[in-house]
């Protein structure tokens, strides 16, 4: 049995904070942010909108696209480092709110790679036949742990949620290969200390610019394809320069790279599923396409899959 993606969804809060708005908050410039990161604006959730609210909207969107109801779900996985509170988990809040009467629920904590950990966990449950339909959501409201006085970090992040419903697909479709990894020795470079994010940007950059290209190539080769066969690359949207490094390593054309970091900034666990959902809705991902999803994050963590699109 093969596990694949049956539907995708996303949600970004309404409030837009542009680089020009950031210039009024810290000593920075639109030019610096755009040239170093590719970010032009980001979305910020309102005070009465928490991570579970973002996740709920993305989940409804994904269930709708999958043409399934919440009662069809066997498991809900929410990847987040900014849950509403430690417990009840965001996944349990959603189980109740969606009315997923037979679903188990747990949160996954792997920072920006969390959605990849979720997808690969879901794959195991589906391919063993233990569960049929799994809802995976990447949702983060990083604005609540952002230090709005630190220009090194506050210009980078945004809020949002993306979701995918996974289930069994035909033998020639679905997830072909995966890679997961961690390196706790690099944990100090990107962490939540007291209530805020702290980051050694240069160290994280060095790690990411090595790991994302390497993991992308690894999953393509494990799947038995050549690098150039990739039809669509969806990297974690942290920095356009890191994303470009992965694209160039695969040797694929610029239009095959999913880019929305300009609109949303780095939305942590939400970034890959938002880009995936947009890619599907904009017709950039088509039946039988070879798609690579690849992420890295605090921990340090990373994960990638190669998949054949379609049911």
Task: List contacts with ligand ACO (CB under 6 A).
Answer: 28, 32-33, 36-37, 111-112, 151-152, 155, 190, 199, 201-202, 204-205, 208, 238-239, 266, 268, 297-298
The residue among 39, 13, 66 whose CA lies nearest residue 242 is 39
3-state secondary structure of 136: strand
Closest-by-Cβ residue to ligand ACO is 201
The nearer residue to ligand ACO, 138 or 298, going by C-beta atoms, is 298
Contact between residue 189 and residue 207 where contact means Cβ atoms under 8 Å apart: yes
Q: Which helix (H) or strand (E) holds 301?
A: strand 301-308
Q: Quote the least distance from Cβ 230 to ligand ACO, whole Å.
A: 22
Clarify whether 133 is annotated catalytic. Answer: no
The nearer residue to ligand ACO, 75 or 79, going by C-beta atoms, is 79
The nearer residue to ligand ACO, 6 or 108, going by C-beta atoms, is 108
Residue 201 CB-density burial (10 A; 0-12 exposed, 13-18 middle, 19+ buried): middle
Q: Quote the least distance from Cβ 282 to ligand ACO, whole Å.
A: 24
Q: Quote the least distance from Cβ 160 to ligand ACO, whole Å.
A: 13
Catalytic residue among 112, 133, 154, 189: 112
The nearer residue to ligand ACO, 58 or 208, going by C-beta atoms, is 208
The nearer residue to ligand ACO, 149 or 170, going by C-beta atoms, is 149
CB neighbourhood size of 107 (10 A): 24
**DSSP per residue over 263-303, as a string?**
HH-B-GGGHHHHHHHHHHHTT-S-TT-EEEEEEEETTTEEE
Clarify whether 266 is annotated catalytic. Answer: yes
Q: Quote the least distance from Cβ 52 to ligand ACO, whole Å.
A: 20
The residue among 219, 261, 268 whose CA lies nearest residue 108 is 268
Q: How many residues does the chain have?
A: 311
Catalytic residue among 61, 239, 260, 266: 266
Residues 6 or more apart whose CB falls under 8 angstroms from that of 78 comprise: 55, 89, 90, 91, 94, 105, 106, 107, 108, 118, 136, 137, 138, 139
Q: Quote the least distance from Cβ 241 to ligand ACO, whole Å.
A: 7
3-state secondary structure of 296: strand
End-to-end, the C-alpha distance of the chain in Å comes to: 12
Q: Quote the least distance from Cβ 106 to ligand ACO, whole Å.
A: 20
CB neighbourhood size of 151 (10 A): 16
The nearer residue to ligand ACO, 104 or 180, going by C-beta atoms, is 180
Catalytic residue among 19, 61, 236, 260: 236
CB neighbourhood size of 66 (10 A): 23
The catalytic residues are 112, 236, 266
């Amino acid at each position: 049995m093969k596990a694949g993606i049956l539907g995708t969804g996303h949600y970004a809060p309404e409030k837009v904070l542009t680089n020009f708005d950031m210039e009024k908050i810290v000593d920075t410039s639109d030019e610096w942010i755009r040239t170093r990161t590719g970010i032009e604006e980001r979305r910020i959730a309102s005070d009465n909108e928490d991570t579970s609210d973002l996740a709920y909207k993305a989940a409804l969107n994904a269930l709708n696209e999958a043409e399934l109801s919440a009662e069809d779900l066997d498991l809900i996985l929410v990847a987040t480092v900014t849950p509403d509170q430690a417990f009840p988990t965001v996944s349990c809040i959603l189980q109740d709110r969606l009315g997923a009467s037979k679903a188990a629920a747990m949160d996954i904590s792997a920072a920006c790679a969390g959605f990849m950990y979720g997808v690969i966990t879901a794959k195991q449950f589906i391919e063993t036949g233990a569960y049929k339909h799994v809802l995976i959501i990447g949702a983060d409201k990083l604005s609540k742990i952002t230090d709005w006085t630190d220009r090194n970090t506050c210009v980078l992040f945004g809020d949002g949620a993306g979701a995918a419903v996974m289930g069994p697909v035909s033998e020639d479709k679905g997830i072909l290969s995966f890679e997961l990894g961690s390196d706790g020795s690099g944990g100090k470079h990107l962490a939540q200390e007291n209530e805020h994010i702290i980051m050694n940007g240069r160290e994280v950059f060095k790690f990411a610019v090595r790991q994302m290209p390497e993991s992308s190539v690894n999953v393509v080769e494990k799947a038995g394809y050549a690098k150039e066969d990739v039809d669509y690359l969806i990297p974690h949207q942290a920095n356009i320069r890191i994303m470009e490094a992965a694209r160039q390593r695969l040797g694929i054309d610029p239009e095959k790279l999913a880019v929305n970091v300009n609109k949303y900034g780095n939305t942590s666990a939400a970034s890959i599923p938002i880009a995936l959902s947009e890619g599907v809705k904009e017709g950039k991902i088509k039946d039988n396409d070879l798609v690579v999803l690849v992420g890295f994050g605090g921990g340090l963590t990373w994960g990638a899959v190669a998949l054949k699109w379609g049911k």
